[in-house]
């Protein structure tokens, strides 16, 4: 098994092919700026791509919030910097998260334990699945501070809930509670707070029981389908399917099906 990356502001565990990343900066409501959380997230995603022992990743926050996004005190301290320096700050800072999330090869589940605001909301939207506790709240609140989503949040939000709803949330900066978030399609499910991680682990375990290579190729196809024309996508499907059909896991899945048992998959 690959060694876990050394993280500074988060904890990472791996059990039964399910990795769990817990943000541990409750003192600043797990803000992504002014902490090491951006580095920790990027490092975890890079590790996930090279670790054959992981099939799914859960992200959640320790304490009262999933992530408050940007650290407002940190924003104020940067106000005197030049536009060029501020642009570089975003490019080599928080913008590394959407690029890493777009490149990660495994399914990612956001277990939203509390407020996910600004860049924290955007991070949740970058995940494949989102489940939230009754304490979950969401807000694309940048306009409230005279800002825009510098982490590419507008790209994700309209793909998730459609342009008109994304525009309304962006222009008003209002907070959406858990029930509305589920109605909008932001949340897949809502749980009681003490059942959030239980349910996240249940979903993750079901995903992790599938052949690992098929999961990774399926994730890539879903991402590619967002930008490919149908013909190009079908060509990609043919290539990926050929690789899957020659895998040991496919042969094992067929054998397990006929023998009416669970498959034992090795990711090869």
* pLDDT attached to residue 2: 65
User: What is this structure's pTM?
Assistant: 0.93
161 shares a domain with 68: yes
**212-224 vs 230-245: helix crossing angle, rounded to 10:** 170
The pLDDT tens digits along the chain (268 residues) read 568 999 999 999 999 999 999 999 999 999 998 899 999 999 999 999 999 999 999 999 999 999 999 877 777 777 778 888 888 878 888 899 999 999 999 999 999 999 999 999 999 999 999 999 999 999 999 999 999 898 999 999 999 999 999 999 999 999 999 999 999 999 999 999 999 999 999 999 999 999 999 999 999 999 999 999 999 999 999 999 999 989 889 888 888 889 888 878 887 8
Residue with tokens 């949340």: 187
Work out how many domains the chain is built from and give that number: 2
What DSSP designation does 67 have? Answer: B
193 shares a domain with 61: yes
189 shares a domain with 102: yes
40 shares a domain with 22: yes
64 shares a domain with 175: yes
Helix (H) or strand (E) holding 18: strand 18-23
Using a 10 angstrom Cβ sphere, with 0-12 exposed, 13-18 middle and 19 or more buried, the burial of residue 166 is buried
Residue 102 Cα to chain centre, angstroms? 9
Residue 266 falls within a domain, yes or no? Answer: no
Count of positions (residues) in the chain: 268
């Amino acid at each position: 098994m690959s060694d876990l990356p050394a993280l500074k502001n988060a904890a990472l565990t791996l059990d039964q092919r399910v990795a769990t990343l817990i943000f541990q900066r409750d003192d600043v409501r797990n803000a992504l700026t002014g902490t090491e959380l951006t580095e920790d997230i990027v490092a975890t995603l890079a590790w996930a791509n090279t670790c054959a022992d992981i099939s799914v990743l859960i992200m959640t926050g320790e304490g009262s919030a999933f992530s408050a996004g940007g650290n407002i005190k940190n924003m104020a301290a940067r106000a005197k910097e030049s536009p060029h320096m501020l642009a570089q700050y975003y490019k080599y800072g928080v913008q590394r998260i959407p690029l890493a999330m777009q490149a990660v090869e495994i399914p990612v589940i956001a277990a939203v334990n509390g407020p996910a605001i600004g860049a924290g909301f955007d991070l949740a939207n970058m995940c494949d699945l989102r489940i939230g506790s009754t304490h979950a709240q969401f807000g694309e609140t940048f306009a409230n501070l005279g800002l825009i989503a510098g982490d590419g949040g507008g790209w994700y939000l309209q793909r998730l809930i459609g342009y008109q709803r994304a525009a309304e949330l962006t222009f008003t900066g209002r907070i959406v509670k858990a029930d509305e978030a589920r109605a909008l399609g932001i949340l897949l499910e809502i749980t009681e707070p003490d059942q959030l991680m239980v349910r996240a682990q249940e979903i993750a375990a079901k995903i992790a029981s599938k052949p690992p290579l098929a999961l990774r190729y399926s994730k890539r196809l879903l991402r590619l389908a967002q930008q490919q024309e149908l013909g190009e996508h079908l060509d990609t499907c043919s290539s990926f399917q050929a690789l899957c059909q020659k895998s040991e896991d496919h042969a094992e899945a067929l054998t397990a099906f006929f023998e009416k048992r669970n498959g034992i998959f090795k990711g090869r």
